[in-house]
Amino acid sequence: MSRHPAYARTDPDEHAAAARWVRTHAHPLAALDPGAPPEDLRPFAESVRDGTGGDPRELLARCRPFWRTEEILDVVTWMRAYNERHPGDPVRFTASPVPEPEFTGPESLPGIERHLAESTAWWHEHTGDRIVYWGGLAHMGVDAHRHNAGSHLRERLGSAYAPIGLTFHHGTAFHRYPEPPADFTESVLGAAGLDAFMLDLRTGKAPDPAVRTWLAGPVRTRLIGPVYDPAHDAAHHMTADALTDLLDGVIHVREVTNARPLTSSSNSGPEAEAEPGPAPDRARTPS
């Protein structure tokens, strides 16, 4: 959890005005399934490169536990279908090099953040590729107070780095997540009443003073990491000076559900059960 000198306020009138603004400016998403028509995903699909080489189900089965899901397989399958349609402009996955051994423990977090940013920027500068850096909000949001990867990338790339946060209102995924507290960003986004939408935060100044205050004021947003205590849901958050400082855009889903464990290629029917893998790393959420 990042610590900032000021925290979000709870002003019902301000939040109601902000929710109306979100509802008016949000772009509803109709194709959240990567196998569906790609119109809603096209802006993101054109920003990554290549997903070929072997059976993707078998490749994912050797990955870390949180990658071994049917949803990640859907993404890989969609990328391959995209490449078949666009052979001259393929997309692909690439990974950041493994950090040096000295990057262990909480005191090494600044070095890890710098490493994530430098490896991403290096790839962009040496290939000229447009990149989607897929990481957690604690890493990819622009947190100038903590100097995370996002802040390093913004310093290095300027406005060419556009962080887009994925948020949700409530749901179940490993744990049951309740509705967010009233002073969380997700509370206002949920009040817009849309199941899923994309919101561009760079659209210029909002005409309503209450909306401008909400966008420019201190913000709290959910931060769910590998360790989560449902009894203290509100404690799992990060703060920022302003939502428009932290992110350039938001993709918000009202309700999240459990990911489906990956099944093996030889036993992938609807009744198949995934072979249990090792327990996920128990590293704490960066603070």
Residues 77-124 pLDDT 10s: 788 777 778 888 777 766 665 555 455 555 677 888 888 898 888 888
% pLDDT > 90, the chain: 29
Q: Do residues 217 and 188 make contact, with C-beta atoms less than 8 angstroms apart?
A: no
Handedness of CA 228, 232, 234, 239 (dihedral sign): negative
Task: Give me the pLDDT at residue 194, please.
Answer: 92
- In the chain, what is the straight-line distance between the N-terminal and C-terminal CA atoms, in Å? 4
Task: Give me the pLDDT at residue 237, please.
Answer: 94
Is the model's pLDDT at 6 over the cut of 60? no
Tell me, rounded to whole angstroms, the distance of Cα 229 from its chain centroid.
20
Report d(CA 190, CA 168) in Å as an integer: 8
Highest average pLDDT, of 52-56, 103-107, 184-188, 281-285, comes from 184-188
**DSSP secondary structure code for residue 23 in this structure:** H
Average pLDDT value for residue range 203-229: 84
Is the model's pLDDT at 7 over the cut of 70? no
Instruction: Look up tokens 């991403």; give the residue.
Output: 120
Q: Helix axis angle, 149-157 relative to 109-127, nearest 10°? A: 40
Report d(CA 83, CA 37) in Å as an integer: 14
The helix, strand and coil proportions of the chain, stated in percent and rounded to the nearest 5, come to 40, 15, 45
Is the model's pLDDT at 229 over the cut of 60? yes
Long-range interactions of 119-123: CB distance < 8 A, separation 24+: 120/96, 120/149, 120/153, 121/152, 121/153, 121/156, 121/157, 123/94
Average confidence score pLDDT of the chain: 76
Between 127 and 99, the higher pLDDT residue: 127
Task: Give me the pLDDT at residue 286, please.
Answer: 34
Report d(CA 19, CA 200) in Å as an integer: 14
% pLDDT > 70, the chain: 72
Highest average pLDDT, of 9-23, 62-76, 247-261, comes from 247-261
Task: Give me the pLDDT at residue 57, please.
Answer: 81
Report d(CA 82, CA 132) in Å as an integer: 16
pLDDT in tens, 14-65: 788 888 878 777 777 654 444 444 343 333 333 334 444 567 787 778 777 8
Between 55 and 69, the higher pLDDT residue: 69
Highest average pLDDT, of 20-24, 80-84, 202-206, 241-245, comes from 241-245
Give the pLDDT band of residue 163 (cuts 50, 70, 90).
Answer: very high
Residue-range domains of the chain with CATH: 12-49+94-262 (3.40.1660.10)
Distances (CA, A) of 155 to 148, 216, 227: 11, 20, 30
Task: Give me the pLDDT at residue 98, please.
Answer: 55
Q: Do residues 24 and 200 make contact, with C-beta atoms less than 8 angstroms apart?
A: no
Task: Give me the pLDDT at residue 248, please.
Answer: 94
Task: Give me the pLDDT at residue 17, please.
Answer: 84
Task: Give me the pLDDT at residue 211, please.
Answer: 86
Give the number of other Cβ atoms within 10 Å of residue 279's Cβ.
7
